[in-house]
Structures are given as C-alpha cells and as structure tokens.
Amino acid sequence: MRALVFDGSQPRFTKTHPEPEPASGEALIRPLRMGICSTDLEICRGYMGFEGVLGHEFVGVVEQVNERRKSPLVGKRVVGRINCVCRKCDMCRGGLPEHCRDRTVLGIAGRDGCFADRFTLPAANLLEVPDSLDDDGAVFTEPLAAAYQILKQLHIEGRPFVTVLGDGRLGLLCAQVMTRLNATVRVVGKHPQKLALCEKWGVKHRLLEEVGLRADQDVVVDCTGSAQGLKVAMQMVRPRGRIVLKTTVAPGSSGTPGSPGTPGSEPVDLSPLVIHEIQLLGSRCGPFPDALAALVAEQVDVVSLISRRMKLADGVEALKAAKRKDVIKVLLEP
Ligand SMILES: [Zn+2]
Ligand SMILES: [Zn+2]
C-alpha cells in the first residue's frame, strides 16, 4: 500500500509498504483526511527516534475490527486517541493510561502512523464522528484535544491574565479554547497574517516585538514549538505564576535545555524558575470527547486554519509546506 514513511534520515513516499494486520481488538482504518502537525516535522528531525509511517491526526472509516463478534464500528467514520496502552501497568491501573509505561503512540512511538492507505488502532481508542461534523472539522479533534488538556490541568482563580505564546497551529487552537476560561487572554506571535485570525475571533493579540517582557502574566502557555519559547515565557510570567509547556522539540534543536545542540544553539537557563518560584506544567494529549463536542457545536473555528490541501502521494512536499512561516495547517487527502 501507499505510505509516507520516515526512514531515520528523511521522509519518503512509498507504494510498497506492507499492509497492516489488525491485532486482536484492533481496527483497520482507511483515513479520509489527515493533518500534519509540528510533531511530525520534529520526528523528521529525529524527535523520539521514530522510524516508520508518519502521522497521528486523522478522520477515517473503519474497514474491519479484529474481534470475534461483529463490531458496530465497522463502516463508521471515526477519530482516535493516539496512545495505545497495556491496561496492566501501574499507570494504567492508577487511572493514567496516557502515561502507560508500555504504550505505543500512533506515528510517534513504536507504531506505524496514519499517513497511509490503511493503519490500525485499538477499537477502544475510537470515537464515532457525528454526521453533522465534516471531515475538515473532525481531523482537528486530536490537536484540539491537546488544547483542551490545558483546561483540565489549570485551575483558574479570579480573572487571570493569560498569554498564549506562539501563533502557529497549536497556539491558535489553544487561544480559542483558553478564551472559554474566566480570563483575559491574548496571543503573542511573530506573524501578522496569523494574528489576523485572532481579530476575526475577537481574541486579543500582539506582535512579540511590540510587547514588553514585564513578568506580569499569571499564566503563559508556550506553543512556540521552539526551545527558545520557554526563555521568553519565563520573562513574561509573574513571580509564582505558571507556564504551560506545549512545545516538544527534537534533541539538538536550537536551544534545547541542557543540549550542547547544533552550532549557534544556547541552552536555556532555568534559574528564573527557581528565583521567581514559577510553576512549569508539561501538557500533552487531551480529552477527545471535549474536543469533538466543541467541534460539533462550532465553538472553535478550525476551517480558517487550513492553508493547504495536498495528496498523500505529495506527502514529502506537504511536510515541506507545513514548515513555511505563512502556512498554518496542511491537510492530506488520500
Ligand atoms: Zn499532533
Ligand atoms: Zn500500561
């Protein structure tokens, strides 16, 4: 079958990838739309040491389920949680399956991803998509869930000042979700044409070069996708404030904390965290039902984020396009 594969040195499109076989309890899925996210781009720079079929954002149709009785999911349009868990380890049994010690993650760790003609996921990971939500909306469920995770983690008191740092794919989703809090939310970014979307949504926004780094924000959400984002966040947040870190970068990327890295990179000095008693909160995958419900209710505008639609066969070009500064979301179609 056709697939977009990262071979350890570069992404390439192949027509001869082996057909996946669903294991017991797994579904075989044919994707209808796929989304390229920054994680895919980082994987192509060595993040997670992953090799195999790329991709974890999808909406697709279930072709079969490897179960003894016929699954009601067959033929249904679904989205799916990307962490595939053991259900046996201490994390799984303690109610934190996303942190399963034995997990595989779709297109990120130990499991082929969705940028292919077909792929597999445990049937238990799948959620049916209501007919009222089209493929363009549904494909955003996974990244939007990651934005909703912030609401699960942050307990807000009073009416805090929140800065979403970064005006890329994830930043613009986080900004829309954060405005649901009782908070004063602004997006700080580097790209006027991306910030213009905030204007459309009625979300406050500023260019990074225009804001003073005054250590006056109660919460800063780093969605920059750059290790330097944390450095800026530490200058923006008030003493005893909180930084939510959404950025993941490949080791050796410019400015990775503690990494000797590539020439010209400088490690980020973490001492401001200590001096100003700042709380640093890592944040990864989030609740699919919340994201799906918000998309169905049209509480979040994702269509405006779609910059390009490209074919799976042009996947290598699509990954390049997703890196461009003027591009937000690139969707792949079969
Ligand atoms: Zn993603
Ligand atoms: Zn487990």
**Within a domain: 291:** no
What is the model's pTM? Answer: 0.93
Nearest ligand, CA 55: 1
| Cα of 92 from ligand 2 centre, angstroms | 4
Compute the distance between CA of residue 247 and CA of residue 113 in angstroms, rounded to an integer: 21
Task: Give yes or no: residues 84 and 151 share one domain.
Answer: no
| Cα of 103 from ligand 2 centre, angstroms | 6
| Cα of 96 from ligand 2 centre, angstroms | 8
The confidence score (pLDDT) of residue 248 equals 79
Task: Give yes or no: residues 148 and 278 share one domain.
Answer: yes
| Cα of 216 from ligand 1 centre, angstroms | 30
What value does the mean pLDDT take over residues 273-289? Answer: 96
Task: Give yes or no: residues 129 and 29 share one domain.
Answer: yes
User: How many independent structural domains does the chain possess?
Assistant: 2
Residues facing 120 on adjacent strands? 28
The confidence score (pLDDT) of residue 255 equals 45
| Cα of 127 from ligand 2 centre, angstroms | 20
Compute the distance between CA of residue 288 and CA of residue 143 in angstroms, rounded to an integer: 9
Selected residue with higher pLDDT from 69 and 248: 69
| Cα of 57 from ligand 1 centre, angstroms | 6
Compute the distance between CA of residue 323 and CA of residue 84 in angstroms, rounded to an integer: 28
| Cα of 82 from ligand 1 centre, angstroms | 9
| Cα of 143 from ligand 1 centre, angstroms | 5
Angle between helices 192-201 and 169-178 (to 10 degrees): 20
**Within a domain: 74:** yes
Specify the CATH number for the domain of residue 136.
3.90.180.10
What value does the mean pLDDT take over residues 182-204? Answer: 94
Nearest ligand, CA 106: 1
Both structure tokens of 89: 């380890």
Task: Give yes or no: residues 15 and 132 share one domain.
Answer: yes
**Within a domain: 166:** yes
| CB-CB neighbours of 111 under 10 Å | 21
Confidence category of residue 249, pLDDT binned at 50, 70, 90: confident
Task: Give yes or no: residues 61 and 183 share one domain.
Answer: no
**Within a domain: 149:** yes
Question: Does the pLDDT of residue 96 top 50, yes or no?
Answer: yes
**Within a domain: 202:** yes
Nearest ligand, CA 43: 1
Task: Give yes or no: residues 123 and 54 share one domain.
Answer: yes
Task: Give yes or no: residues 13 and 123 share one domain.
Answer: yes
Task: Give yes or no: residues 274 and 327 share one domain.
Answer: no
Residues facing 3 on adjacent strands? 14, 116
The confidence score (pLDDT) of residue 52 equals 97
Do the bridges between strand 217-222 and strand 161-165 make them parallel or antiparallel, or are there none, so unpaired?
parallel
Specify the CATH number for the domain of residue 259.
3.40.50.720
Task: Give yes or no: residues 156 and 61 share one domain.
Answer: no
**Within a domain: 294:** no
| Cα of 104 from ligand 2 centre, angstroms | 10
| DSSP 8-state symbol, 116 | B
Task: Give yes or no: residues 277 and 153 share one domain.
Answer: yes
Nearest ligand, CA 248: 1
The string of pLDDT tens digits covering residues 24-76 is 999 999 999 999 999 999 999 998 899 999 999 999 999 999 999 989 999 99
| Ion ligand 2, residue ranges at CB < 5 A | 85-86, 89, 92, 100, 102
**Within a domain: 287:** no
Residue 187 and residue 203 in contact, taking contact as beta carbons nearer than 8 Å = yes
Task: Give yes or no: residues 277 and 149 share one domain.
Answer: yes
| Cα of 65 from ligand 2 centre, angstroms | 22
| Ion ligand 1, residue ranges at CB < 5 A | 37, 39
Range of the domain at 35: 3-140+302-333
**Within a domain: 297:** no
Confidence category of residue 265, pLDDT binned at 50, 70, 90: low
| Cα of 274 from ligand 1 centre, angstroms | 31
| Cα of 142 from ligand 2 centre, angstroms | 21
The string of pLDDT tens digits covering residues 165-190 is 999 999 999 999 999 888 999 999 99
Task: Give yes or no: residues 249 and 308 share one domain.
Answer: no
